[in-house]
Structures are given as structure tokens and as C-alpha cells.
């Protein structure tokens, strides 16, 4: 375990479903991130929560909605997804102001049917 825990590990959902991905870290980090990893594509940064502020990639569709209730937890709420949203979703955390680096979770493999 890296210290960043993501659940579930795998998720299959229909296009009309609503689901949430969860990420949790107790590393004392103060920034958390959602990344999307599609096949043969580089990581795509979706959202950043740093010091309780949210920064988002404007290209991310509104059917993805992040929530960060505190510095240790991060959610990604999903609704009315499309098949092209099937990908590996990675959560990461870091301590801003240092070069310690990112700690990534193992990811949630999402399949939209």
C-alpha cells in the first residue's frame, strides 16, 4: 500500500447510474488530485484540491464532480457517464512546498457500459 487508498478497485456502471469513487490518505499531505488514465494516453489531470481550494481542468465534463470534505478524503462523483469515460482513475496526494513527490493510489478501473 502506498498510503493512498482508493475504493473500489473496480467498478462497472451503466450510463444512467450514479456512483462515487473514494480516495483516502493519512500521510499528512495537504493536496489531493484526480487523474484519468486512458489506454495509450498520458495521465490527464482532472482536479486538484490544494489547501482546500479547487483547481480544475476546464476540459473535464460536468458529469464528473469532485468533493473534498477535508484534507484526507477526496471523492469523485459520477453521473450519466459515457463509454469513453471508461479508464483508470488515479488519486494522488502531495505535500505542497516540498519536492517529496506524489503518492498515488492504485486506481479505480472504471468500465461504463
Laid out side by side, the sheet with 4-7 consists of 4-7, 18-25, 73-79, 64-70
Q: How far is the CB of 77 from other proteins (least distance, A)?
A: 21
CA 22 to chain centre: 8
Phi, psi of 29 (to 5 degrees): -75, 155
75 touches other proteins by CB under 8 A: no
Question: Of residues 5-44, which lie at the interface with other proteins (CB under 8 A)?
Answer: 33, 37-40, 42-43
- Interface residues toward other proteins, by CB under 8 A: 33, 37-40, 42-43, 45, 48, 87-88, 90, 96-99, 101-102, 104, 107, 109
Amino acid at each position: 500500500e502506498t498510503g493512498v487508498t482508493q475504493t473500489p478497485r473496480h467498478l462497472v456502471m451503466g450510463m444512467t447510474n450514479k456512483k462515487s469513487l473514494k480516495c483516502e490518505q493519512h500521510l499528512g499531505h495537504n493536496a489531493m488530485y484526480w487523474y484519468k488514465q486512458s489506454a495509450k494516453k498520458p495521465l490527464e489531470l482532472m482536479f486538484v484540491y490544494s489547501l482546500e481550494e479547487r483547481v480544475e481542468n476546464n476540459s473535464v465534463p460536468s458529469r464528473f464532480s469532485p468533493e473534498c470534505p477535508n484534507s484526507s478524503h477526496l471523492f469523485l462523483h459520477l453521473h450519466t457517464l459515457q463509454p469513453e469515460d471508461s479508464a483508470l482513475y488515479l488519486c494522488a496526494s502531495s505535500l505542497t512546498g516540498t519536492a517529496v513527490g506524489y503518492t498515488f493510489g492504485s486506481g479505480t478501473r472504471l468500465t461504463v457500459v
